[in-house]
Amino acid sequence: MAKTKFSKETYLMWYEQMLLMRKFEERAGQLYIQQKIRGFCHLYIGQEAIAAGAMSTIKADDNVITAYRDHVHPFIKGVEPKYVMAELFGKSTGVSKGKGGSMHMFSQPHRVFGGHGIVGGQIPLGAGIAFAEKYKGTNNVTLCYMGDGAVRQGALHEAFNMAMLWKLPVVFIIENNNYAMGTSVERTSNVIELYTLGESYDMPAAPVNAMSVEAVHDAMEIAVAHCREGKGPYLLEMKTYRYRGHSMSDPAKYRTKEEVEEYKAQDPIQRVLTTLLEKKYASEAQVEAINEKVNLIVDECVKFSEESPFPDASELYKDVYAQEDYPFIRE
């Protein structure tokens, strides 16, 4: 169990934030089957404590980069959910101006570096962002998220080696939900305790029960402080679970219903709710009010997205190269 004592306000914040992530994703799933959202769509349902537990440990100038399961990571950095929803709709008001969609959430002002569809592609990029921060002499930390499948990519080893060698301020965070599409962790390597991969590079590393937002917070606090003090990278293996299929079209036949239920029984949101009520941090009525507020926020996200325009065709030529008159761009 978590060692730190947390305030009532922290618990209330966690409850609201995680519920918002859950409801946002549930709605995204519904909108997908109604064809308001098209293309790919990978939901974060079940993994919310990882994002929420990070929120309480970082500052505005820190960086976040992740894979395609990326709808809620922008929330960590304070991006308003409606801009993420608009991106899912492909609307011009979306975080990536409607040109990225579900897998490519970017926000320069919030220092959110995507959304990457190439499994593991974000690992060396995350190290690179941390390198830039070190080079510029800031004390900004980079959070680099990856799945258990991404961990099996070769690029991880080069990135880990260099990050350690150069003491880069990056927290590598494995979101181990036990599956890479339909392939379980055990089927991909003899090394199934993923945090032990840090040992090869003398990188400090720890496993975390990511169904507990308190445990995530505690681990993140240690890792972020380690980076911020210039001591180099840190590896955290968040042991989590996704309740839904890999993407919208995955019936998830490779696992049993009992297995899913086992994890739902440890649901991170339910756990926080239990704490709120047991410690009398909130009454039933206050909880109901938060639920209501979250539903309204999600409704507002959808309304905003529906009413926003699609990007103009001319947008296709923009944001491709940093240099404006790059010779390959001709309208």
Partner 1 sequence: MAQIVKMPKLSDTMTEGVVSKWHKSVGDTVKNGDLLAEIETDKATMEFESFQDGVLLYRGIEEGQATPVDAVLAILGEAGEDFQPILDEYNKGAAKPTEEPKAETAQPKAEPKADEAPATAEVKAQPAAESKPAEVKKPHYLKKKVQVLMVA
Ligand X SMILES: Cc1ncc(C[n+]2csc(CCOP(=O)(O)OP(=O)(O)O)c2C)c(N)n1
Q: What does R_g of the chain's alpha carbons equal in angstroms?
A: 20
Q: Which helix or strand (DSSP H or E) is residue 5 part of? A: none
Q: Is 162 exposed, middle or buried (0-12, 13-18, 19+ CB in 10 A)?
A: middle
In the complex, what is the shortest distance from the CB of residue 266 to partner 1, in angstroms, rounded to a whole number?
19
Beta bridge partners of 146: 174
95 and 32 Cβ atoms separated by less than 8 Å: no
In the complex, what is the shortest distance from the CB of residue 258 to Mg ion, in angstroms, rounded to a whole number?
19
Please tell me whether residue 240 binds Mg ion under the rule CB under 5 A: no
Q: How many residues bind Mg ion (CB under 5 A)?
A: 5
Q: Considering CB distances under 5 to 8 angstroms, the limit depending on partner class, which of partner 1, ligand X, Mg ion, none binds residue 150?
A: ligand X
In the complex, what is the shortest distance from the CB of residue 238 to ligand X, in angstroms, rounded to a whole number?
11
Q: What x/- string results for residues 174 through 213 when contact with Mg ion is judged by CB under 5 A?
A: ---x-xx---------------------------------
Spatial distance between the Cα atoms of 44 and 69, rounded to a whole number of angstroms:
6
Longest distance between any two alpha carbons in the chain, whole Å? 64
Cβ-based nearer residue to partner 1, 166 or 254: 254
In the complex, what is the shortest distance from the CB of residue 186 to Mg ion, in angstroms, rounded to a whole number?
13
Q: Which stretch binds ligand X (CB under 6 A): 3-11, 29-37, 86-94, 111-119?
A: 111-119
- Residue whose pair of structure tokens reads 């900004």 in the numeric block: 140
Going from the C-alpha of 124 to that of each of 44, 88, 120, the distances in angstroms are: 23, 26, 8
Q: Which of 60, 165, 181, 320 binds ligand X (CB under 6 A)?
A: 181
Q: For residue 226, give the 3-state DSSP assignment.
A: helix
Cβ-based nearer residue to ligand X, 91 or 152: 152
Cβ-based nearer residue to Mg ion, 180 or 208: 180
Region of residue 98 (phi > 0: left; psi between -120 and 50: alpha; otherwise: beta): left
Q: Which of 53, 114, 115, 147 binds Mg ion (CB under 5 A)?
A: 147
Q: Which residues contribute to the site for Mg ion (CB under 5 A)?
A: 147-148, 177, 179-180
Q: Which residues contribute to the site for ligand X (CB under 6 A)?
A: 67, 69, 117-119, 147-150, 175, 177, 179-181, 246
